Copies of this chain bind each other. A is one copy, B any other.
Amino acid sequence: MTQALRLGIAGLGTVGAGLVRIVQDNADLLSARTGRDIVITAISARDKNRDRGVDLSSYEWVDNTAALAARDDVDVVVELIGGSEGTALDLVSAALTNGKDVVTANKALLAHHGYKLATLAEKNNVALTYEAAVAGGIPIIKGLREGLAANRITAVYGILNGTCNYILTVMRETGRDFDDVLAEAQELGYAETDPTFDVDGIDAGHKLAILGAIAFGVKPNFSDLKMTGIRQINATDIAFATELGYRIKLLGIAKNIDGKKVQVLEPCLVPESSELGAVDFATNAVYVAGDHIGQTLFTGPGAGAGPTASAVMADIVDLARGVKHPVFNIPASQLGSSDWDNLDDTQGLYYLRLNVIDKPGVIADVSAILRDHNISIESLIQRVRDPDQAVPLVMTTHETRHGDMMAAVTEIEKLAAIAEKPCLIRIEDL
């Protein structure tokens, strides 16, 4: 048998403890599947004394996390600290420089520094893998990089943040508004005390930047990513979406459309009968379209100790088997520009909800602006009548140039009869 693969684990939060549990529970299986033992030699985290529910007594505790990068008894540094800068970045950089393979679950790190780290890994002829960074337990990185390697990818759509999907699902099922459901999710531990990373789309954006890079062979670009979270989605929009046969999902999208390569993260309407429309609560999903495969969907748990650690271990198993891939599927030097095209020249369908003062002539004014921007209305709903009060006016459009849609909304917003900021949501007719 080949000698054991020796892990040094940095970070012993939920995922770190989950990984220790897999190493302990499934040692026999892992050894049969890789032809060698997978062992933990050294561990490091902030608080040595915290009870993590796993026996850590046989691993050497390292106070200075950075030291893991230089240990002779560590083949693979497993970075589970998180955060795009600081200890995580320093550790990963040092480990790669020292010729150690690195496995990480850190989406922020990859989204911000992926290209630099990929270059460093290749220079040192080591692996940098991150199955757990996107969609938790779902083996989507492997799926894209290997399972669908035959294909020119045309589109990736991901439900990449379980907290947002949970909130949107509960809003739909109960009719309650965002703030209310968020507060409950925080109480139940499904959302963080500071929910910004989740509900404003940053976490999903990190993941999208990684998926976009692998799918399209480009440098990951998070800083230019247009992101819209779910704070502005209200119970009215959810109800109208349902009435129209749609679900609202926060989608990370990277696709080739109308000759443009675009990347955007925003809430979208997807048909309730579509596979993505059926993905509820904290479940994540990634839909991939390619030139030969057609379409395929991967769904599963997007977070949690077991699922995330399962993905971390998938990377470790690859390394134990001697399998290494370029970080973003092709050599870093061959990665394309990180520039994505502007959305303006792409065509799309839109849902637009206006809050209008119920006065004669409002619909005529709105319709005229839409007409002047070549926007054709597919359906229009104004059900509530309440003279001189604000009532919702909802419409969906036929295929429309994005730039035209944005310009029309800017103009509509200036009408005196518009009582609040219009809500514009892209419809993805998957």
Contact = CB atoms under 8 A, between A and B. Distances in A.
B291 A25 contact: yes
Given A292-B307, A295-B301, A139 B131 contact: no
Interface string A210-238: 00000001000000000000000000000
Given A297-B300, A298-B296, A310 B323 contact: no
A298 B298 contact: yes
B146 A329 contact: no
A293 interface: yes
Interface in A287-332: 290-301, 304, 306-307, 309-314, 317-318, 321, 323, 325, 329-331
Given A295-B300, A296-B299, A32 B330 contact: yes
B310 A301 contact: no
Nearest to A277: B278
Contacts of A330: 32-33
| Residue among A30, A32, A147 with the highest chain B CB neighbour number at 10 A | A147
Given A32-B334, A139-B147, A306 B278 contact: no
Contacts of A139: 142-143, 146-148, 296
Interface string A23-47: 0011001101111000000000000
Contact of A292 (B18, B148, B290): B18
A152 interface: yes
A18 to B, nearest CB: 7
Interface string A118-153: 000000000000010000011100110011111110
Nearest to A305: B292
A69 B330 CA distance: 31
A147 B314 contact: yes
A85 interface: no
A407 interface: no
Contacts of A331: 32, 35
Contacts of A22: 150, 292
A275 interface: yes
A315 to B, nearest CB: 10
A325 B32 CA distance: 12
Contacts of A307: 292-294
A195 B323 CA distance: 42
Given A149-B317, A275-B278, A299 B297 contact: yes
A138 to B, nearest CB: 6
B150 A314 contact: yes
Contacts of A278: 275, 278
Contacts of A138: 296
Contact of A304 (B35, B147, B294, B323): B294
Contact of A300 (B293, B306, B323): B293
A415 B412 CA distance: 75
Given A275-B299, A298-B298, A292 B314 contact: no
A400 to B, nearest CB: 30
A310 B151 contact: yes
B296 A309 contact: no
Given A32-B331, A137-B294, A291-B306, 20 more contacts: A25-B152, A25-B292, A26-B151, A26-B152, A26-B291, A33-B149, A137-B296, A139-B148, A148-B310, A149-B317, A150-B312, A150-B314, A275-B299, A278-B278, A292-B306, A293-B307, A293-B310, A294-B306, A296-B300, A297-B298
List the 10 closest pairs (A to B, CB-CB), nearest first: A139-B147, A296-B300, A150-B313, A292-B306, A149-B317, A293-B310, A292-B310, A137-B293, A150-B310, A32-B330
15 contacts: A26-B151, A29-B217, A30-B149, A137-B292, A137-B293, A142-B143, A142-B146, A146-B146, A147-B314, A150-B311, A294-B306, A294-B307, A296-B299, A297-B300, A299-B299
Interface of A: 18, 21-22, 25-26, 29-30, 32-35, 131, 137-139, 142-143, 146-152, 217, 275, 278, 290-301, 304, 306-307, 309-314, 317-318, 321, 323, 325, 329-331, 334
